[in-house]
Amino acid sequence: MPACPLTGGERDGRFGVFGLLLGRVQREGAGRNLTCAPQPEDEEDEEPALEELEQREVLVLGLDGSGKSTFLRVLSGKPPLEGHIPTWGFNSVRLPTKDFEVDLLEIGGSQNLRFYWKEFVNEVDVLVFLVDSADRLRLPWARQELHKLLDKDPDLPVVVVANKQDLSEAMSMVELQQELGLQAVDSQREVFLLAASIAPAGPGFEDPGTVHIWRLLLELLS
């Protein structure tokens, strides 16, 4: 089932309220003189308007330290940063494809920011939820937050990323599926669990899991 694009008015309004850096305001206002009415031009001098690509919105969530910011950096072709720098607020990346543009919006995973998560779930086309596979202590919290989001929008496709699978203490995919309660999710719902190692691992490191995640996102967004 392909994800259905949201109506522009409601989606744009919600994103504008929280001042998210999706570039929509800048793009629509670029080059305009708000104090002067546009002057008519000769038809022969007019250039054909470039067709604007449709937007698809992907919400990237997860507890702090799960690897959300690094995930966005890797998808945008940037190397991972060493060390953990928590996101205090919002972070976004726009990635163009042949048929549409993908806006990936990350909201910080600290406790005081999780309150805002539910405000955006109904405004996006796909949810990506990252889990630290090696953080057994906080896995129950991750499960609780994930199921809150699943309950908020029963039709939203969800991609659960089991991150840091390269660590020796990482839980297996079978164990994570059980601990996250994914086996109890309605079988008709689009919920995917994918492994990844989105973390600094030396020069030239490329995680094949990230490639699979991106391909799945494009399939869900098409």
- Taking the C-alpha atoms of residue 200 and residue 57, their distance in angstroms, rounded to an integer, is 27
Consult the annotation and say whether 210 binds a ligand.
Answer: no
Distance CA 36, CA 34 (A): 6
Question: Residue 40 has which token pair?
Answer: 């008519």
64 labeled binding residue: yes
Q: Is 164 known to sit in a ligand binding site?
A: yes
9 has binding-site annotation: no
- Find out whether 66 is annotated in a ligand binding site: yes
How far apart (Å, rounded) are the C-alpha atoms in residues 215 and 97?
A: 11
> Does 165 appear as a known binding residue?
yes
The answer to whether 166 is a known ligand-binding residue is: yes
78 marked as part of a ligand binding site: no
Q: Which residue has the tokens 């796909």?
A: 126
Residue 222 annotated as binding?
Answer: no
* Residue 178 is assigned to a ligand binding site: no
Task: Return the H-helix or E-strand segment holding 151.
Answer: helix 139-152
Specify the residue for token string 């896995």.
139
Please tell me the number of Cα atoms within 13 Å of 11 on its side-chain side: 18
Answer yes or no: is 109 a known binding residue.
yes
87 marked among binding-site residues: yes
The stretches of 19-138 forming alpha helices (DSSP H) are 24-29, 68-75, 118-121
Query: Is residue 163 marked as binding?
Result: yes
Report whether 67 belongs to an annotated binding site. yes
Residue numbers in the known binding site for GTP are 62-69, 109, 163-166
Residue numbers in the known binding site for Mg(2+) are 69, 87
Residue numbers in the known binding site are 62-69, 87, 109, 163-166
